[in-house]
Amino acid sequence: MKDAGEKIDPSRKLSDAIRDVKNAFADRDDVVVDMREAHRMRLELLAAELAPVFADVPADMDNFDFVVSAGLQPRLWIDAVSHVAMGRDRRTYRFLKDTRIGRVVLAESTEMKPVADSVTRYVAERIVERQRMMEGGVEPAVTGMRRAEVAEAEPPLRSPQRSNGWSAFLSGLGLVAAGALVGLAVSVALFWDRLVAMVFSLRP
């Protein structure tokens, strides 16, 4: 058993161990920070490459973001469901999109240009889709909705009201003709004697 006054080896002090652990965490944090900064720098370069594309987007389209977010994994957000992030090797650009079936990779390359071209294409497709939707050229997600709208906007050429109108007109015309025939028959019956006498008087 060690005496109370015996000196403890400094290398075994808890404070030294805590200091060593803190240094290790600091070194690890430096690595994480360096990786994050490297990711952010590459994404900012990609954003600068795409700056002319972002500038040409119509001002009334507010569904695009075009910002590099901070955090443990910086991302260049294109819109609410798509972004570009760096791979674990800190060299690969990955253009990702969140869908109903999960996240899909739209483009992946260590070169900036193919990914920039894919982002440009994606932005162009979203703009065209919006224009077609505003012009009524895109089929809606709910089946039958477009048919109802078209039926309301473009009524059939032979509507039920118009058919009913023609039927009523023809029926009225038939009644008038029948009435005329009945009147003619009654007149002939009433004046038959006079007509016969007139015919005989006209004979030589």
Q: 114 with 182, same domain? A: no
Choice between 70 and 26, residue whose per-residue pLDDT is larger: 70
Report the alpha-carbon distance of residue 109 to residue 90 in Å, rounded.
11
Q: What DSSP string runs through 105-127?
A: EEEEESSHHHHHHHHHHHHHHHH
Q: Is position 1 within any domain?
A: no
pLDDT by residue (tens digit) across 71-104? 788 999 999 999 999 988 888 999 999 999 999 9
Q: 148 with 71, same domain? A: yes
Dump strand ranges (E) for 70-202.
75-79, 82-86, 93-99, 102-109
What Cα–Cα distance (Å) separates residue 81 from each residue in 9, 52, 63, 65, 74?
Answer: 58, 22, 10, 10, 15
Q: 186 with 91, same domain? A: no
pLDDT at residue 151, as a whole number = 37
Q: 41 with 68, same domain? A: yes
Q: 126 with 186, same domain? A: no
pLDDT by residue (tens digit) across 130-151? 999 888 755 544 444 343 343 3
Within 57-111, residue ranges assigned H as helices are none
Q: 140 with 164, same domain? A: no
Contact indicator for 32, 72 with CB cutoff of 8 Å = yes
Query: CA triplet 128, 132, 138: central angle to 5 degrees?
Result: 120
Report the alpha-carbon distance of residue 63 to residue 123 in Å, rounded.
11
Q: 136 with 194, same domain? A: no
Return phi, psi of residue 62, to 5°: -105, 15
Split into its structural domains, the chain has a count of: 2
Q: 171 with 146, same domain? A: no
Which of 137, 153, 169 is the last residue in one of the domains?
A: 153
Q: Is position 4 within any domain?
A: no
Number of helices followed by number of strands (H, E) in the chain: 5, 5
Q: Is position 41 within any domain?
A: yes
Mean pLDDT of 10-26: 65
Q: Is position 5 within any domain?
A: no
Q: Is position 7 within any domain?
A: no
Which residue type does 41 have? Answer: M
Domain that residue 188 falls in? 160-202
Q: 3-class SS at 28? A: helix
Q: 171 with 83, same domain? A: no
